A and B are shown apart, each in its own frame.
Chain A
Amino acid sequence: MVNARGISFSKVMLILGLLFLYLPMFVLIVYSFNASRLVSVWAGFSTHWYSALFEDQQILSAVWMSLKIAFYSASMAMCLGTLCAFVITRFKRMRGRTLLSGMITAPLVMPEVITGLSLLLLFVQLAELTGWPADRGMVTIWIAHTTFCSAYVAVVVSARLQEVDRSIEEAAMDLGCTPLKTFFVVTLPVIAPALVSGWLLAFTLSLDDLVIASFVSGPGSTTLPMVVFSSVRMGVSPKINALATLIILTVSLVAFIAWYVMRRNEKRRRSGRLS
Chain B
Amino acid sequence: MNRNPIPAPLTARVRTLLFHRRVLFGIPFAWLLLFFLLPFALILKISLTSAVMAIPPYEPVFRLAENTLSVVVNFGNYLFLLSDSLYVAAYWGSVKTALISTIACLLIGYPMAYAMARAPKHWQLVLLLLVMLPSWTSFLIRVYAWMGILGNQGLLNSLLLWLGLIDEPLKMLNTNFAVILGITYAYLPFMVLPIFTNLVKLDLRLLEAASDLGCRSITTFWAITLPLSKAGILAGCMLVFIPAVGEFVIPELLGGPDTLMIGKVLWEEFFNNRDWPVASALAIVMLALLLVPIVLFHRFQSREMSKNG
Contacts and interface: CB of A to CB of B under 8 A. Distances in A.
Interface of A: 1-4, 8-11, 13-14, 16-18, 20-22, 24-25, 27-28, 31, 38-40, 80, 83-92, 94, 96-115, 117-119, 121-122, 124-125, 128, 143-144, 146-147, 150, 154-155, 158-159, 161-162, 179-180, 200-201, 204, 207-208, 210-211, 214-215, 225, 228-229, 232-233, 235-236, 240-241, 243-244, 247-248, 251-252, 255, 258-259, 262-263
B243 A228 contact: no
A14 B151 contact: no
A172 to B, nearest CB: 15
Interface stretch (B2-10, B70-78, B283-291): B283-291
A109 B240 CA distance: 8
Contacts of A11: 115
A171 B205 CA distance: 36
A13 B111 contact: yes
Given A21-B131, A109-B297, A204 B243 contact: no
Contacts of B147: 232, 235-236
Contacts of B129: 255, 258-259
Nearest to B290: A111
Nearest to A90: B309
B32 A24 contact: no
B201 interface: no
Contacts of B133: 251-252, 255
A228 B138 contact: yes
Contact of A211 (B42, B249, B286, B298): B249
Nearest to A229: B140
A180 B290 CA distance: 40
B253 interface: yes
B156 to A, nearest CB: 10
B302 to A, nearest CB: 5
Contacts of A207: 138
Contacts of B267: 113, 211
B130 A18 contact: yes
B75 to A, nearest CB: 19
A248 B137 CA distance: 6
Interface of B: 17, 20-22, 24-25, 27-29, 31-40, 42-43, 46, 56, 108-109, 111-112, 114-116, 118, 122, 125-127, 129-131, 133-134, 136-142, 144-149, 151, 153-155, 157-158, 185, 188-189, 192, 207, 211, 217-218, 220-221, 238-239, 242-243, 245-249, 252-253, 263, 266-267, 270-271, 276, 279-280, 283, 286-287, 290, 293-294, 297-298, 301-302, 304-309
A7 B173 CA distance: 35
A4 B117 CA distance: 11
Contacts of B306: 88-89, 92, 101, 158
B145 A244 contact: yes
A1 B218 contact: yes
A14 B109 CA distance: 8
B263 A108 contact: no
Contacts of B141: 28, 228, 240, 243-244, 247-248
A210 B305 CA distance: 28
Contact of A147 (B20, B36, B125): B36
B188 A21 contact: yes
26 contacts: A2-B218, A9-B111, A17-B188, A24-B146, A24-B185, A28-B148, A39-B158, A40-B157, A89-B305, A89-B309, A94-B21, A94-B22, A101-B306, A110-B243, A111-B242, A113-B263, A117-B270, A117-B283, A121-B43, A159-B305, A204-B137, A210-B139, A232-B147, A233-B253, A247-B137, A248-B137
A111 B305 contact: no
A146 B28 CA distance: 11
A121 B218 CA distance: 53
Contact of B37 (A103, A229, A247): A103
Contacts of A147: 31-32, 35-36
Contact of A104 (B28, B116, B130): B28
Contacts of B32: 84, 100, 103-104, 147, 150
Contacts of A24: 142, 145-146, 149, 185
B28 A150 contact: yes
A232 B140 contact: yes
Contact of A106 (B130, B148, B298): B298
Contact of B221 (A2, A14, A99, A159): A2
Contacts of A20: 108, 185, 188
